[in-house]
């Protein structure tokens, strides 16, 4: 038992509400020291990489103006690195000092419950908006990635600062606070926004990506000191209408609500979009019930319940329609229906109210328009086959309901509805009627779409269940495809190795003969039996094997043995090498499965030939058979060089313009696993994945989603296909990301240039 008089390293949690206590103060100093040391190292590493990154981008810049921007940025960072680094670390230190002194920024208890439209917004410049979106994205990504560790840090720091609740946004070492500190430091740099965005990406890559260890240090240090040592690293969720927990338990597990916007990153992102929508409509941000600057009819705005009820009725109407009710020929009709959903929704609400309704709240209108633009993007996305565009477009109403229930879908990549749509689109990307002859993938996607239309009311958990079901289906399909793909690659690899070995054998024989006038018998042995033996040796043992070198030495000896003998020394040398020639020839013929009788007949012919060489008499029966069964050299070499592989597309003889460096570079940059769409001369298309690039010939092997071969191109042939438009690379990024990028870009476009 320890002596009661000995000092304890474990903090007395009865003191946790008093940050002025000596033990708590020591822990605060420890936390500040850990953060300062770790962040200084991370920031130093980031600045050491900024220069290289900007230099590389300058070298690859598309024009002189862009190159100048990057070089100017390099000079500015070099000049002001010290002050930027000092400003960043200084702000972090001030945040930590405020925290240590008990001056923490208490979270607004009502911030998450307030409708977004009631938040006072101001129009921001385009550059500021881009900066905000970049920071919002990095905060959201890292808060999600670090959710468990960050949750534990929040709870333990909450104990230290007197029990006041702390969330991700108010944590002085959380991603939001660190990003805000760095944004303030970036004001010291006079650089173009393009360079700023690159530096923010590097901050994300080298600083935020490395704070895992800081959180581990803080959690370990505080837990060892007795601050919530048994803390469960779990984030409990509850419905938005559930009461917030109170009392001591609330400091252990902090629930996250499912209110429309519950975290700072999602809120800032939606505020930015709201500002862009308002600017596009020419209204004042935050104004309700106005569109295009004109007042709308007065009357109560539709409640969330009314909106969801009206959408459920519209959803049931679509769910009652069979999938075949939207044929491929009516894609224009589907596009029109997507664009007209807002009007249909208002009409439905009017029917439910018994009076005409012509407007909704500004936030709800933004959400409706945002979902509409998302599905317009899907219908225009060339990454998806037309059949799949129409299929996925049927999900507009379920996704609008999700967005009205939880606007975090637009900001959080981990949102279940967003992940399901990304998974459906990714699976659909490789679909084609030819590759899906049994309709298994088409039917699975159709089944998921119809089940969402029938089953989804307001329980977002259905998206998780369907995503898991889709993943199980894709895992089974992938395993089956991988086996087929492996067989195709192995077969292609084997044929290429055989072809390479044949050509190598022919090159060695032709090079060593070097135009010498050899007897037909010697030609025949070299170009038929011995060539086959060289091919077999290369395939089995490779070019580094001793047996391969011995096979080449035999060629030299065999050719030397055929030269005329004029004197005694020549006859003596010939007799000396004949036993070795016979042993090597017997071994080689046995390796290529020559019949023993054929081997003896060939050796008998050679014995007769060598007796002639040595000036000895040859029986008539032997001399008459010397050249009857051999093949002339040109035909024999052609037989060796003729490939046994199946015919390849004629893509080697290309016009000069096909070898544009951009097309060649595009072909060279392809990665195994990337999907392409190939268009035939008759206009038909097929989709294929790059499965393998031959290290021997450099040819590109493409397979469909079942793992079966679709195409086989050389580098030049692929460049020609890119140049002619018969091949294009499909985007490998997620659908939702691409859609949000396109929507933001479209919202930035002046109204006069925007699509109606």
pLDDT, one tens digit per residue, over 599-656 is: 888 889 999 898 888 877 655 544 444 333 333 434 434 444 443 334 444 444 454 4
69 pLDDT more than 70: yes
Domain membership flag for residue 23: yes
Domain presence at residue 461? no
DSSP string, 299-365: SPPPPHHHHHHHHHHHHHHHHTS-GGGS-GGGHHHHHHHHHTHHHHHHHHHHHHHTS------HHHH
150 lies in some domain: yes
Are residues 697 and 637 part of one domain?
A: no
Identify whether residues 33 and 143 lie together within a single domain.
yes
Would 448 be classed as within a structural domain?
Answer: no
| Residue 706 within any structural domain of the chain | yes
pLDDT band at 186 (very low <50, low <70, confident <90, very high): very high
Is there a domain that residue 650 lies in?
A: no
More confident residue, 199 or 235: 199
Q: Which two three-digit tokens encode residue 503? A: 């050509």
For residues 388 and 449, is the Cβ–Cβ distance under 8 A? Answer: no
Taking the C-alpha atoms of residue 17 and residue 8, their distance in angstroms, rounded to an integer, is 19
User: Are 367 and 407 part of one and the same domain?
Assistant: yes
Lowest average pLDDT, out of 42-56, 355-369, 556-570, goes to 355-369
Whether 586 and 710 share a structural domain: no
Rounded CA-CA distance 588/566 in Å is 30
Residue whose tokens read 């969720």 = 237
Mean pLDDT of 464-476: 91
Is pLDDT at 158 greater than 60 in this prediction?
Answer: yes
Identify whether the C-beta of residue 178 lies closer than 8 Å to the C-beta of residue 37: no
CB 460 within 8 A of CB 417: yes
Q: Give the pLDDT score at 640.
A: 44
Are 175 and 31 members of one domain?
Answer: yes
What is the residue range of 181's domain?
19-266
How does pLDDT run across 98-111, given as a tens digit for each residue? 887 776 554 333 33
Q: Are residues 233 and 312 in the same domain?
A: no
The answer to whether residues 519 and 592 belong to one domain is: yes
Q: Residue 696 sits in a domain of what CATH number?
A: 2.30.30.140
Tokens 């400003």 found at: 87
Q: Lowest mean pLDDT: which of 55-59, 471-475, 480-484, 567-571?
A: 480-484
User: With contact defined as beta carbons under 8 Å apart, do 501 and 535 qualify?
Assistant: yes
Angle between helices 386-393 and 331-339 in degrees, nearest 10:
30
Residue 182: per-residue pLDDT = 95
| Within-domain flag for 3 | no
206 has pLDDT over 70: yes
Last residue of a domain, one of 430, 458, 478: 430
Q: Do 98 and 134 share a structural domain?
A: yes
Rounded to 5°, the CA angle 11-13-15 comes to: 90
Q: What is the pLDDT of residue 271?
A: 75
pLDDT tens for 129-141 read: 778 878 887 888 8
Mean pLDDT, the chain, integer: 77
> What b-and-e string marks burial along 604-632, b requiring 16 or more CB atoms within 10 Å of the CB?
ebbebbbebbeeeeeeeeeeeebeeebee
Burial profile 186-203: b = 16 or more Cβ within 10 angstroms, e = fewer: bebbebbbebbbbbbebb
Based on the domain organization, do 256 and 307 belong to the same domain?
no
The confidence band for 299, taking pLDDT boundaries of 50, 70 and 90, is low
| This prediction's pTM | 0.52
Locate 605 and state its tokens: 């012919």
Number of domains within the chain: 4
Examine residue 440 and state whether it is found in any structural domain, yes or no.
no
3-state secondary structure of 474: helix
Q: Are 147 and 47 part of one and the same domain?
A: yes
What pLDDT score does 706 carry?
Answer: 82
Query: Both 149 and 23 in a single domain?
Result: yes
Query: Could you tell me if 260 and 316 lie in one domain?
Result: no
């Amino acid at each position: 038992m320890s002596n009661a008089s000995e000092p304890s390293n474990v903090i007395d949690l009865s003191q946790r509400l008093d940050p002025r206590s000596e033990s708590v103060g020591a822990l605060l100093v420890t936390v500040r020291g850990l953060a300062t040391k770790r962040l200084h190292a991370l920031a130093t590493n980031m600045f050491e990489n900024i220069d290289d990154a900007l230099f590389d981008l300058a070298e690859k810049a598309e024009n002189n103006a862009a190159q100048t921007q990057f070089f100017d940025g390099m000079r500015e960072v070099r000049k002001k690195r010290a002050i930027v680094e000092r400003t960043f670390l200084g702000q972090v230190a001030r945040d930590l000092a405020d925290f240590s002194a008990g001056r923490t920024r208490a979270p607004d208890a009502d911030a998450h419950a307030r409708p977004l439209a009631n938040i006072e917004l101001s129009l921001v410049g385009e550059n500021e908006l881009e900066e905000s979106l970049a920071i919002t994205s990095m905060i959201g990504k890292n808060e999600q990635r670090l959710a468990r560790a960050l949750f534990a840090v929040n709870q333990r720091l909450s104990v230290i600062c007197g029990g006041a609740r702390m969330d991700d946004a108010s944590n002085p070492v959380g991603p939001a606070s660190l990003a805000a500190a760095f944004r303030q430091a970036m004001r010291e740099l006079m650089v173009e926004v393009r360079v700023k965005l690159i530096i923010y990406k590097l901050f994300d890559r080298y600083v935020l990506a490395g704070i895992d260890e800081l959180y581990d240090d803080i959690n370990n240090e505080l837990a060892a000191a007795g601050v919530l040592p048994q803390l469960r690293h779990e984030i409990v969720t509850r419905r938005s209408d559930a009461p917030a927990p109170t009392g001591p338990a609330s400091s252990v597990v902090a629930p996250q609500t499912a209110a429309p916007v519950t975290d700072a990153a999602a809120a800032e992102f939606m505020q930015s979009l709201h500002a862009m929508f308002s600017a596009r409509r020419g209204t004042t941000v935050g104004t309700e019930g106005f569109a295009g600057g004109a007042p709308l009819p007065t009357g109560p705005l539709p409640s969330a319940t009314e909106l969801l009820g009206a959408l459920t009725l519209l959803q049931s109407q679509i769910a009652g329609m069979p999938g075949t009710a939207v044929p491929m020929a009516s894609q224009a009709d589907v596009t029109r229906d997507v664009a007209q959903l807002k009007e249909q929704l208002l009409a439905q609400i009017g029917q439910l109210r018994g009076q005409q309704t012509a407007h909704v709240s500004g936030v709800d209108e933004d959400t409706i328009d945002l979902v509409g633009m998302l599905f317009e993007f899907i219908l225009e996305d060339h990454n998806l086959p037309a059949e799949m565009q129409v299929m996925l477009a049927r999900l507009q109403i379920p996704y609008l309901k999700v967005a009205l229930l939880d606007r975090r879908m637009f900001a959080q990549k981990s949102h279940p509805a967003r992940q399901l749509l990304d998974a459906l689109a990714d699976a659909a990307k490789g679909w084609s009627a030819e590759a899906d002859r049994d309709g298994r993938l088409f039917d699975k996607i159709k089944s998921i779409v119809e089940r969402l239309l029938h089953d989804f009311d307001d329980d977002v958990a259905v998206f998780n269940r369907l995503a898991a079901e889709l993943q199980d289906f894709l895992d089974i399909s992938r395993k089956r495809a991988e086996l087929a793909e492996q067989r195709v690659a192995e077969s292609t690899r084997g044929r290429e190795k055989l072809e390479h070995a044949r050509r190598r054998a022919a090159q060695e024989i032709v090079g060593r003969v070097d135009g010498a006038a050899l007897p037909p018998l010697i030609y025949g042995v070299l170009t038929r039996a011995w060539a086959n033996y060289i091919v077999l040796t290369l395939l089995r043992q490779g070019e580094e094997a001793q047996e391969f070198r011995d096979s080449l030495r035999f060629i030299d000896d065999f050719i030397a043995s055929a030269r005329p003998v004029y004197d005694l020394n020549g006859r003596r040398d010939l007799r000396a090498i004949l036993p070795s020639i016979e042993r090597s020839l017997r071994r080689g013929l046995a390796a290529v499965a020559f019949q023993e009788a054929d081997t003896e007949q060939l050796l008998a012919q050679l014995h007769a030939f060598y007796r002639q060489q040595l000036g000895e008499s040859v029986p008539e029966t032997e001399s008459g058979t010397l050249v009857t069964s051999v093949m002339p050299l040109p035909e024999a070499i052609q037989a060796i060089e003729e490939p046994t592989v199946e015919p390849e597309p004629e893509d080697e003889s290309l016009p000069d313009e096909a070898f544009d460096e951009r097309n060649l570079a595009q072909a060279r940059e392809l990665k195994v696993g990337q999907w392409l769409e190939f268009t035939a001369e008759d206009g038909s298309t097929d989709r294929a994945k790059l499965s393998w690039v031959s290290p021997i010939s450099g040819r590109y092997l493409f397979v469909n989603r079942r793992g079966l071969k679709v195409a086989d191109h050389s580098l030049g042939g692929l460049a020609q296909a890119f140049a002619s438009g018969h091949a294009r690379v499909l985007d490998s990024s997620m659908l939702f990301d691409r859609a949000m990028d396109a929507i933001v870009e479209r919202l930035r476009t002046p109204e006069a240039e925007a699509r109606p």
